[in-house]
Amino acid sequence: MSDRHDEGETADDGADAVGSPDGGDRHIETRAIHAGQEPDPETGALMTPIHANSTYKQDGPGEHRGYEYSRTGNPTRTDLEANLASLESGSHARCFSSGMGAINTVLNLLSAGDHVVAGDDVYGGTHRILTQVYDEYDVDTTFVDTTDHDAVRAAMRDETELVWIETPTNPLMNVNDIGALADIAHEGDALCAVDNTFATPYLQRPLEHGADIVSQSLTKYLGGHSDTIGGALIVDDEELDERLGFYQNSVGATPGPFDSFLVLRGTKTLPVRMDRHCENAMSLAEWLEDHDDVSRVYYPGLESHPDHELAAEQMDDFGGMLSFELDGTLEEASTVVSETEVFTLAESLGGVESLIEQPAAMTHAAIPREERLAAGLTDGLIRVSVGIEHVDDMKADLQQAFDAARQ
Ligand SMILES: *Cc1c(COP(=O)(O)O)cnc(C)c1O
C-alpha cells in the first residue's frame, strides 16, 4: 500500500516517489484491489478520494507534506501509480494524460543524433510520433520485423538508444519474444521498452522478462470501461524513474484526479474482466476458425497461430483481441462491420463492450493498398475487441452480419 499521507521521501524536484509497492508476494487479483490503496486515515473512507486540488498548504517555506502542486504530484494519481507499479512487477510508475503522453515521455530520454529500432507493426500513433515528430528532432527510427531477431540485430547502430516493441501486435497478433529482444537491446547498450497495452499486466509482465520500461495506454483494458484516456510508464529502476519523472513534470502531460480515479476503479476488476475477455475470445476464435465464411483467424491462443508456443510461454492467457479474414471483398467486410449490433463499429479496444473494425478501411487505410496487402492486411480483414457480453450473442450477431454481406 502507498503511504500517501505520510510519505516524507519526496524528491527535491517534487517528483514524488511511489516507493516499492508492498504486498509483492500477494497474488495479482489481491494487489489489483489493494496495492497503493488504504482507507483514508482521517475519515476511514475506503476509496481513494478524488483530490480535486491544484496546490497544497506548506507548513513553512519548502515544508510540504509530500505534495506542492498537482502537476508534480497529486494523491489520487499517486495511488494509481503505486497500484500500476505493483501490477507490472515494477518499483515505480508514472501516469500521463494519454498513452501517447506516456510514449512521448520515453522519447524525451533521447537526444538529437540518437537512433531507435521499432517494430514495423507498432501502434499507428507510435509510428507517427517517431516519423513525424522525433524525426524532425534528428532522432532516426528503423522499423523492422521484430519477430526476426537477425533483422533486429542488423538494424542496431552505435547510436541506437532504444528498442521499442509491442506484443501481441495490431492487427495480426504477432507475438514478440520480450526476453530475446531485451537481450539484443542490452548488448547494444540500448533500453528496451515494451508497449503492454494489448496484453495488460494480468497476462504479461515485460519487466520480468528483462524489459526496462513498460508503456500502457490506460484508455484500454486498465481503465476498461471506454470512459477515459490515460497512459502510464512502469520501471523497476529508481534512477530511470527519476529521469522519467523529470520529463513528466517538465512536459506536464499528467492526468487529472478524476481520470486517475476512474482508472483506479478499473484496475480493481482487471483480473475478472480479463478472464472473461480471454474466455470469450478463445471461444469466438474457435467458432470463426470452423466457419465457412472465414478464411483465417489470427489469435495467439489457437494452435494454428505461428507464435502460439511463444505466447503460451510468455503470457498467462491469450487476451481479448483477435482478427479474422472474411472470405470476401472489401465491400462485404464493410457490410459485416456495419451490420453488427452487439459489436459496435468503432476504433479503440479493451472496454467491456465488444468493438469491431475493418483495418483496410479504417485504422490502416492510410497505407497504400499494395503495401498493405504485402503486410498481410487484406481487404477482408476484420479486427474485434472481444468484450464481456455473452459469447453466444456475439456469434449470433456475427452470423447475421455474415448473412447480410452475402445478400
Ligand atoms: C491506444 C494505444 C496507444 C495510445 O494510447 P492513447 O491512450 O490513445 O494515447 C498506444 N499503444 C497501443 C498499443 C494502443 O492500443
What confidence score (pLDDT) does residue 8 get? Answer: 35
**Among protein residues, the one whose CA lies closest to atom 2 of ligand 1:** 217
Residue with cell 475493418: 358
Instruction: In whole angstroms, give the CA distance from residue 263 to residue 309.
Output: 32
**What are phi and psi for residue 311, nearest 5 degrees?**
-60, -40
Q: Write b or e for each residue in 24-47: b if 16 or more Cβ atoms lie within 10 A of its Cβ, otherwise e.
A: eeeebeebbebbbbeeeeeeeeee
pLDDT tens digits, the chain, 407 residues: what are they? Answer: 333 333 333 333 333 333 344 556 899 999 999 999 999 888 999 999 999 999 999 999 999 999 999 999 999 999 999 999 999 999 999 999 999 999 999 999 999 999 999 999 999 999 999 999 999 999 999 999 999 999 999 999 999 999 999 999 999 999 999 999 999 999 999 999 999 999 999 999 999 999 999 999 999 999 999 999 999 999 999 999 999 999 999 999 999 999 999 999 999 999 999 999 999 999 999 999 999 999 999 999 999 999 999 999 999 999 999 999 999 999 999 999 999 999 999 999 999 999 999 999 998 888 889 988 988 899 999 999 999 999 999 999 999 999 999 98
Instruction: In whole angstroms, give the CA distance from residue 300 to residue 319.
Output: 8
What confidence score (pLDDT) does residue 299 get? Answer: 98
Q: Does ligand 1 have an atom closer than 6 angstroms to the CB of 229?
A: yes
Domains of the chain with CATH codes: 4-268 (3.40.640.10), 270-406 (3.90.1150.10)
Question: To 10 degrees, the CA torsion angle through 160, 131, 84, 223?
Answer: -160
Ligand 1, closest atom to CA 102?
9
**What are phi and psi for residue 44, nearest 5 degrees?**
80, 0
Ligand 1, closest atom to CA 103?
10
Ligand 1, closest atom to CA 100?
9
SS3 content of the chain, % helix, strand, coil (to 5): 40, 15, 45
| E strand segments, 120-187 | 140-144, 160-166
Q: Which of the listed residues 128, 220, 233 should we mutate to test ligand 1's pocket, taking the one with most ligand atoms within 8 A of CB?
A: 220
Q: Cβ neighbours of residue 123 under 8 Å, at least 6 residues apart? A: 166, 170, 195, 197
